[in-house]
Structure 1
Amino acid sequence: MSRLAALVILLLVCACAGGPPSRNTVNLNDPSLRRGEALLRHGAGSAELSPMDPVPSVQELGAQAGFGRAWKARSVRASVYLFDSYTEASAAEDTLRARVPEGLRGSGTVNGNLLVWATADATDEAGQAIINDVLSAFAGEE
């Protein structure tokens, strides 16, 4: 087989398979994750966000799925996790509250089977206000 033929076959295989998944892809086919994305977006207002991996990871927290977002203009980072139940999400929130890294402020809330966990630098007062807005959106206090 010529190199050109091999390259064409390789490209076709990659194209058919969709190529490698992007690093921060969120499967928004899940209605709960779509709801979490909408609530986070509502709480963020007009802020520009970047995708990021949830911190801690979905596996580390024992969640089914999750995604993260970082504010481009502030130190705020938010992770949304999907759990089997409200009880599991609440237990994970308690775990996170007990281990906020030094130098950060962290806060979260549970909405059904979703947990949002957000952090900001301890000195970032505007970041704390953003966290409060996100938590309000998740708590239904729009």
Structure 2
Amino acid sequence: MRLFLSLLGIAIFGFGFSVVQAQSDAAPQISIGNGAKNWITTEGVRRADGTLTFSEVQIDGNGWLVIHPFENGAPNGDKYVASTYLKDGTNSDVSIKVHKGLQTGEMFIVMLHRDVNENQVLDFVFVDEQNVMDTAVFEGSTMIGHAIPAP
């Protein structure tokens, strides 16, 4: 997760929103965005103080909407600044309180994580060098997430 988000930060500013994982020439191309079964509607995100509201979030299985900060121009996957639990299916008007100062225009990553053990607790504990227990949601090589500025 750390390597992926570091590479994602470089790619966002240097090459757009498509990321190539730099492990080998044959490494799969990973992108961020929405999928057919999982998505985050980022158009029209509303803000009231430190709380952001997304009009619709779809997740295939129970999980989390998580916000990771940008630090020094790149996403920092070692920490998160907000999370809210999502039930399987379509969730409307999803509010998420950001636990740090949030400046208008400040970049962040909003993404989905699966509640792997179904305990309704975000298990943000690294199980290896890149992955936390409640794993990022992927559809194929697309990580369900977006880099967006705070409204």
TM-score, structure 1 as length reference: 0.27
Task: Flag the structure with higher strand content.
Answer: 2
User: Which gives a bigger RCO, structure 1 or 2 (Cα 8 Å, sep 6+)?
Assistant: 2
TM-score, structure 2 as length reference: 0.26
Task: Flag the structure with higher helix content.
Answer: 1
Report which of the two structures shows the higher radius of gyration computed on alpha carbons: 1
